[in-house]
């Protein structure tokens, strides 16, 4: 799945404001949030200096992804630390320095839409690969793990933690092509023909199973089968 990420931008980044970089700190976790509002409203909120808030990404119910802060820079998404339960918290260092923030359109207690879930799943996969993160409950957390007093409903009981971890923990071997989820009815058959070299997919990592095959592609597959 190729993500279409729309750049929105925000003045609310860096410590102090406008400072680029993370002062040498490595990203060690993704923090998931709920907007308690709409994507359009969040766009405006993160572009208000008075809000003193931002995140790296926002994901709408339609699956649309907006980016507010460059990944190399610090976003203002974690707020204050209050009665935390996060094992990787670094004492005395603002968590914004070593986390990525993802906001989700909606309100605490609501379920993500399917399009929203698929978008956040793929975005998590990209970030996990980019920052070489392990998939566990300390590297992917809710805001409530940092502030359990004021943000105990963030991202809320409707956030699909179990499904997200289940799908993220599937091995790379199980993800045959980027457009074929492991649970697809034809996934096992596609895996087998890929393993023996009959069909190899496209250079962008997709299989495009709904497209018609040309006579040239058929000839190429049959040639590999006979040899």
> pLDDT tens for residues 84-101?
999 999 999 999 999 999
User: Looking at the structure, do residues 97 and 67 belong to the same domain, yes or no?
Assistant: yes
Q: How many residues does the chain have?
A: 227
- Indicate whether 111 and 215 sit together in one domain: no
**Per the structure block, which two tokens stand in for 198?**
């009959």
Beta-bridge mates of residue 34: 104
1 pLDDT band, cuts 50/70/90, is low
pLDDT band for position 63 (cuts 50, 70, 90): very high
Q: How confident is residue 125, by pLDDT bands cut at 50, 70 and 90?
A: very high
Q: State residue 192's pLDDT score.
A: 83
Distance CA 71, CA 74 (A): 8
Q: Check pLDDT > 60 for residue 64.
A: yes
Q: Which residue has the tokens 């006979």?
A: 226
Same domain, 206 and 96: no
**Same domain assignment for residues 197 and 157:** no
Is residue 149 domain-resident?
Answer: yes
Whether the per-residue pLDDT at 14 is higher than 80: the answer is yes
On whether both 212 and 154 belong to a single domain, the answer is no
Give the phi and the psi of residue 193 in degrees, each rounded to 5.
-70, -25
In angstroms, the CA 105 to CA 40 distance is 9
Q: Do strands 65-67 and 57-59 pair parallel, antiparallel, or not at all (unpaired)?
A: antiparallel
Which residues sit opposite 141 in a β-bridge?
A: 31
Q: Which two tokens stand for residue 43?
A: 């766009």
Domain encompassing residue 203: 187-226
51 and 155 share a domain? yes
Q: With respect to residue 181, please indicate whether it lies within any of the assigned structural domains.
A: no
Domain boundary among 139, 168, 197: 168
Q: What is the pLDDT of residues 67-79, one digit of tens each?
A: 999 999 999 999 9
Q: Does the structure show a pLDDT above 60 at 171? A: no
Please report whether residue 176 resides in a domain: no
Q: Work out the average pLDDT over 157-169.
A: 95
Give yes or no for residue 224 having a pLDDT over 90.
no
Q: What is the mean pLDDT of residues 194-207?
A: 82
Question: Tell me, what's the pLDDT at 174?
Answer: 62
CA distance 38 to 42: 6
What integer is the mean pLDDT of 40-49?
98
Rg from Cα positions in the chain: 20
Phi, psi (5° rounding) for residue 43?
-55, -45
Read off the pTM.
0.78
Cβ atoms of 94 and 13 closer than 8 Å: no
> Is 179 part of a structural domain of the chain?
no
- 83 in a structural domain: yes
Look up residue 32 and give its two tokens: 């998931």
Residue 122's SS3 state is: helix
């Amino acid at each position: 799945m190729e993500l279409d990420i729309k750049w929105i931008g925000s003045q609310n980044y860096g410590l102090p404001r406008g400072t680029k970089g993370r002062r040498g700190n490595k990203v060690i976790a993704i923090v998931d949030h709920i907007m308690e509002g709409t994507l359009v409203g969040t766009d405006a909120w993160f572009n208000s200096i008075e809000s003193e808030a931002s995140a790296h990404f926002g994901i709408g119910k339609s699956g649309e992804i907006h980016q507010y802060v460059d990944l190399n820079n610090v976003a203002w998404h974690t707020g204050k630390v209050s009665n935390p339960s996060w094992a990787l918290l670094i004492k005395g260092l603002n968590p914004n320095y070593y986390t990525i923030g993802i906001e989700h359109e909606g309100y605490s207690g609501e379920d993500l839409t399917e399009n929203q879930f698929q978008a956040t799943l793929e975005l998590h996969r990209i970030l996990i690969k980019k920052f070489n993160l392990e998939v566990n409950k300390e590297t992917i957390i809710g805001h409530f793990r940092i502030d359990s007093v004021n943000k105990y409903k963030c991202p809320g009981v409707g956030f699909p933690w179990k499904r997200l971890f289940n799908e993220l923990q599937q091995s790379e071997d199980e993800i045959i092509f980027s457009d074929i989820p492991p649970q697809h009815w034809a996934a096992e058959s596609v895996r087998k023909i890929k393993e023996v070299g009959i069909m190899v997919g496209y250079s962008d990592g997709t299989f495009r199973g709904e497209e018609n095959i040309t006579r040239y592609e058929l000839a190429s597959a049959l040639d590999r089968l006979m040899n």
